[in-house]
Amino acid sequence: MTKRILVVEDQEDNRQILRDLLGSAGYDLIEAENGEEALAAVSKNRPDLILMDIQLPIMDGYEATRRLKSDPEFKTIPIIVVTSYALSGDEGKAREAGCDAYVTKPYSPRLLLAKINEFLS
C-alpha cells in the first residue's frame, strides 16, 4: 500500500521540491502550511510519516510536534523535523519536542529520502 507523507512547510518552493522528490519515490503527499493546518490534516487523513519544518506561521513546528506526540492517537506517527543551520538551540528543542529524527537545512534531497525510507520500509 502506498505510504502517505504529511509535509508541513510554509515555503512553496520547498513544498514543490518535496512534491517532486517524494512523488518520484512513490509516496503520496498531503500538505500543510502551518502547525494548525498540520494538526487538522493529521486528524482528517492519517499519514504514515510527518515531515515538519520549524519556522511556520500561526503555530511553529515545535508546538505542532509536541501536540502530536502527546496525543495517544497520533504519537506513534514518526516525525522528522527540519531545523535551520547552526541555530544551536534547534536540535535540542526538536528532541525535547519529541521528534523521531531531524535534518538540518539545507538538506540534500537524496539524504532526506534515505532517512524517510528508513522509517517507512
Residue count, binding to other proteins (CB under 8 A): 20
> What is the spatial distance between Cα 79 and Cα 110, in angstroms, rounded to a whole number?
18
Please list every residue from 50 through 69 that binds other proteins, using CB under 8 A: 55
Nearer to other proteins, 43 or 92 (CB): 92
Q: Exactly one of 26, 44, 76, 108 binds other proteins (CB under 8 A); which one?
A: 108
Name which position in 17, 29, 59, 103 contacts other proteins (CB under 8 A).
17
The β-bridge relationship of strands 101-104 and 79-83 is parallel
Residues contacting 42, CB < 8 A, separation 6+: 6, 50, 68, 74, 77
CB-CB neighbours of 10 under 10 Å: 17
Q: Residue 85, interface with other proteins (CB under 8 A)?
A: yes
Do residues 39 and 47 touch, judged by C-beta distance below 8 A?
A: no
State which residue, 2 or 108, has the beta carbon closest to other proteins. Answer: 108
5 contacts 47 by C-beta, under 8 angstroms:
yes
Is residue 1 part of the contact set for other proteins (CB under 8 A)?
no
76 is a site residue for other proteins (CB under 8 A): no
Residues contributing to the site for other proteins (CB under 8 A)? 11, 13-14, 16-17, 20-21, 24, 55, 84-88, 105-110
